[in-house]
Chains A and B, each alone.
Chain A
Amino acid sequence: MKPNDPRDIHPLVKTEGGLLRDMLASAETDHAREEQLEGLHSRLAPLFTTALPIAAAGGVKAATKLAIVKAAAKSVLSIKVAIGVAAIGAASGGAYYVVAHRAPAIAPVVVPSAPRVQTTAPPLPTATTPAPTIDDSAPAPSAKKPPTTKVPVDAAAEFDLVQRGGDALLQRHAGDALSLANEHARRFPGGAHAEDRERIAIEALVDLGRTDEAKTRARRFFARYPSSAYRPRIESLVPGAR
């Protein structure tokens, strides 16, 4: 990580003495250590040899819906890879600066420009091993589906673009993030996630060192979204744009 990289200076609520900055930055200690993940892996080992349940009726319906999304939007949903973590904060009406700690990618990055393959379809059973012996008493998730599961195809495709752009940004693939944001701007200029898209584009431009463009786009952003939740973050990344 480059020292004094503008991407590492993130907005954060700055209270007297920078205590809140320290508090949020301390979340960096929440990363699992390799041995902890391996310990958990061992505990879950019985499940790794047990086939995932095949999608029931609902899952089949969902898979059909996905096919429609793919065909109509020409956009394939993708599983996202490991998430970089940054200690970030912001609040209305304050000064915000913090050193963020973007974690290195833990898993290989899916290159957004490459054809994406839906990898989440439940696989066929591969084993008939006995039921796992670990405790299976965990609470079941509610049947409630997130609101976006019923959105039109275009909305799903739009959401997918924004998520891919956001993940590319987290992985510090600024060029990919900018391409995805620009693709979103072309296809969904007034889309529901235009604010997210602009934030991604601005941060990507900063990452790429295209400061003037970032500033221009940030000014437009502030004019259009004066009370955006992203405003403090963008103000700290693009000083002088407000």
Chain B
Amino acid sequence: MENYSKKVMENFLKPQNLGEIENADGVGKVGNPKCLFKDTNIHTNLKLKKIKDIKKNDFIISHDGKYHSVTETYKRVISEPIIVLKNRLGEIKLTKEHLVYAIKIPKGDKFLRTKNKKTLIPAWYHAEQLDKGDLILYAILSDTKDVDYLEVNTKKKKFDHNSKSIPSKIKLDSDFLRLAGYYLSEGYYFDKTNNVHIAFCFNLKENNLAQDVVRISEKIFGITPIIKKNETQHSQVVYINSVFIVKLFKELFKSGAKNKDIPDMFMTLPPEKQKSLIYGIWKGDGFFNTKIPRGGYSTISKELVHKLKILLLRQGIIPSIYTEKEKTDKKEQKHQECYRIHVGDKESTTKLAKIIEVTFYNLRPEAINSWIDKNILYTPITFKKTENYSGKVYNLEIDTSHSYNTNAFTVHNCGDIMWLYITVSKNKDGKEIIQDIKFKTLGCAAAIATSSMVTELAKGKTLDDAFKITRGDVAKSLDGLPPIKMHCSNLAADALQAAINDYYSKQGRKILEITHNDNCSCCHKEKNCKK
């Protein structure tokens, strides 16, 4: 870590305005615990779960790309502005001080991200510190565990004399994974008495896929499927009749298009093997436009889309994910909520094309804004806003790694805690000023020094001026802070605004919107600069 400046050390060793004020006019409390919203989707070893449903001992993916267990869950009720961030993978809502794994991009539009890749240092930033264009780091599942065989329960029911037997051990090879892929995209099962089968529905043109299913079924199960063609609908359906296969597929891939799921065991297979699964899924239901070029896939299963996202990331393919809300079209036909995956950049399309065996020439030059390096996806924030929220928020405590993946971000929590007390009086001009200010802080040297400095800066100022003190002002007055400690100055500025707002609300007055407008590097002092 970088050394602290002399000013930081002075303020740390001899903090000013330490203590508390009894019957203070306003108190600002900031810091732990930091939280996410109840519907935030978290990747666990079993499925995507809402954070509110996560329990102790569930396994989540951490910033090291590995599964870690949840050791504690927290919730609390808040009423404050929260941050919404979006990137190509999705959206997250979090309290403004929640830490996100990211890289702050220096201001100035000439900055070339890829050229300066090596000089970009990842760190944990408070959500509110981040802006559109900053890079977030998303950990890609890196656990790998090969499975050679699947065990199948082939025990016949009493009086079942018809069912054909299938092998009790099925080799988990590229053939089976391709079949699984077709099923996830195009398959369904039927298990009424006397009519038990799994079926694959292909276009008439997709003869090669239908034949592939036939071949695989014969090879693996020893069962020859039946193909039924429907010329009017331009479709053909491949039926594999077996009670055991239905049972196996139901167990592995769940039932109904909305709930289709890739089993966890498949998620940690070696990436080389997973290529066959991607092949099957994409051939079944995806498209690839060789002219643009672009790959796409759409499904109504949320599980499937997010698992496919991980599979693609493990191949070094960078997807974008879009959610289409439930809608009714002009013909009054209802469409369920649907998820789309797009693959568009040059490297990713090339990799995807290779997996699904499509050839194309891509000479189009392009600007790279996302990349993968050592199992981490680097991708920019595409949208940021602040909105008001009242309700429950949640957080998790994770074994050893202390971080977890949501569907689009990798987040963390660390704990500085700062309380600021103010008393307010009027100056000669009748304006309200901060007459006295004191702080209490639990944290490192930077947290103590920034607390001390913010009290020094605020003391005697009018409430309006004090409210405008930014984290930049605090850091600047301390002759700078090491980058990883910048969030401490944030906390100090936040605590001051929170204390002033607390005063206003006790007075029954309107509270001010919490802002930190020091991002304008051109005119640091001009608080009203709109640039």
Query: Is the pairing of A and B real?
Result: no
**B interface residues, Cβ below 8 angstroms from A:** none
